[in-house]
Structure 1
Amino acid sequence: MLSEEFVRGMLYLSLTIVGVPGNATVIMAFLLLIYEEKRLLAADAIILHLACTNLLVVVVRCLLESLASFHLANVFGDAGCKAVIFIFRTSRALSIWLTFLLSAYQCLSIAPPGSRWATARAIVAQYLVFVFLFLWVLNATMSQAAIFFTLSTKNDSSLTKNAVNVQFCLVNFPSKLSKDINGAAQVGRDVVPMSLMTLASLVILVLLYKHSQQVKGLRSVSGTGGGSGGAEQRAAKVVVVLVTMYVILYGVDNGLWVYTLTVRKTMSSSLISDLRVFFASLYAALSPLVIIVSNRKVNSRLRCSAQEKPVLEKTRNPSTL
Structure 2
Amino acid sequence: MESNSLIRGLLFLLLTVVGVPGNSLVIWAFVRVASHDRRLLPADAIVLHLVSVNLLVVVVRCLPETLATFRLVAIYNDASCRGIIYVFRTARTLSIWLTFVLSAYQCLSAAPPGSRWAQVRATVAHHLSFIFLALWLVNCIVSCPAAIYSLGSRDNSSLMEHSINAQFCLVQFPSGLARDANGAVQTARDVVPMVFMTMASIIILVFLYRHSQQVKGLRGGTSGKSRPSAERRAAKAVVTLVTMYVVFYGVDNGLWVYTITVTQTLSSALVSDLRVFFASLYASVSPIVIIISNKKVSRQIQCQSEESTARTPDAALSAA
TM-aligned CA deviation for residue 212 of structure 1: 1.3
Structure 1 partner of 2:167: 167
Structure 1 partner of 2:263: 264
Contact 2:159 2:267 in 1 (8 A): no
- Verify: 1:45 aligned to 2:45, yes or no: yes
Secondary structure of the structure 2 residue equivalent to 1:48 = helix
Question: How many pairs are equivalent?
Answer: 319
Could you tell me which amino acid in structure 2 is paired with residue 73 of structure 1? V
Structure 2 partner of 1:28: 28
Could you tell me which amino acid in structure 1 is paired with residue 239 of structure 2? V
Structure 2 partner of 1:247: 246
TM-aligned CA deviation for residue 294 of structure 1: 1.1
Contact 1:103 1:200 in 2 (8 A): yes
Structure 2 partner of 1:301: 300
Structure 2 partner of 1:151: 151
Structure 2 partner of 1:82: 82
- Note the alpha carbon deviations across 1:276-304, whole angstroms, 9 max, x for none: 00000000011000001111001100010
Structure 1 partner of 2:225: 227
RMSD: 1.8
TM-aligned CA deviation for residue 116 of structure 1: 1.1
Could you tell me which amino acid in structure 2 is paired with residue 297 of structure 1? K
TM-aligned CA deviation for residue 309 of structure 1: 0.8
Distance (whole Å) between structure 2 residues aligned to residue 320 and residue 151 of structure 1: 56
Distance (whole Å) between structure 2 residues aligned to residue 159 and residue 278 of structure 1: 23
TM-score normalised over the length of structure 2: 0.95
- Note the alpha carbon deviations across 1:186-238, whole angstroms, 9 max, x for none: 0000000000000000011111111111212223xx37698373212210110
Could you tell me which amino acid in structure 2 is paired with residue 231 of structure 1? A
TM-aligned CA deviation for residue 267 of structure 1: 2.3
- Note the alpha carbon deviations across 1:38-59, whole angstroms, 9 max, x for none: 1100000110111100000011
Could you tell me which amino acid in structure 1 is paired with residue 148 of structure 2? F
Secondary structure of the structure 2 residue equivalent to 1:113 = coil
- Verify: 1:64 aligned to 2:64, yes or no: yes
- Describe the shift of the 1:161–1:130 C-alpha distance in structure 2 as closer, same or farther (beyond 3 A): same
Distance (whole Å) between structure 2 residues aligned to residue 76 and residue 49 of structure 1: 28
Distance (whole Å) between structure 1 residues aligned to residue 82 and residue 309 of structure 2: 46
Structure 1 partner of 2:214: 214
Structure 2 partner of 1:11: 11
Secondary structure of the structure 2 residue equivalent to 1:244 = helix
- 1:93-112 matches, within 5 Å, as 93-112=93-112
Contact 2:110 2:204 in 1 (8 A): yes
TM-aligned CA deviation for residue 152 of structure 1: 0.6
Secondary structure of the structure 2 residue equivalent to 1:268 = coil
Structure 1 partner of 2:126: 126
TM-aligned CA deviation for residue 157 of structure 1: 8.2
Secondary structure of the structure 1 residue equivalent to 2:266 = helix
Distance (whole Å) between structure 1 residues aligned to residue 251 and residue 158 of structure 2: 31
Distance (whole Å) between structure 2 residues aligned to residue 277 and residue 256 of structure 1: 10
- Note the alpha carbon deviations across 1:86-108, whole angstroms, 9 max, x for none: 00000000000000000000111
TM-aligned CA deviation for residue 159 of structure 1: 4.7
Contact 2:154 2:170 in 1 (8 A): no
Distance (whole Å) between structure 1 residues aligned to residue 178 and residue 276 of structure 2: 22
TM-aligned CA deviation for residue 22 of structure 1: 0.7
**Long gaps (5+) in structure 2:** none
- Note the alpha carbon deviations across 1:235-279, whole angstroms, 9 max, x for none: 011000000000011110000001101111212220100000000
Percent identity among equivalent residues?
Answer: 59
Contact 2:99 2:241 in 1 (8 A): yes
Contact 1:64 1:74 in 2 (8 A): no
TM-aligned CA deviation for residue 169 of structure 1: 0.3
Structure 2 partner of 1:184: 184
Contact 1:250 1:280 in 2 (8 A): yes
- Describe the shift of the 1:319–1:90 C-alpha distance in structure 2 as closer, same or farther (beyond 3 A): closer
**Long gaps (5+) in structure 1:** none
Distance (whole Å) between structure 2 residues aligned to residue 153 and residue 63 of structure 1: 17
Contact 1:314 1:320 in 2 (8 A): no
Could you tell me which amino acid in structure 1 is paired with residue 29 of structure 2? A
Structure 2 partner of 1:311: 310
Structure 1 partner of 2:276: 277
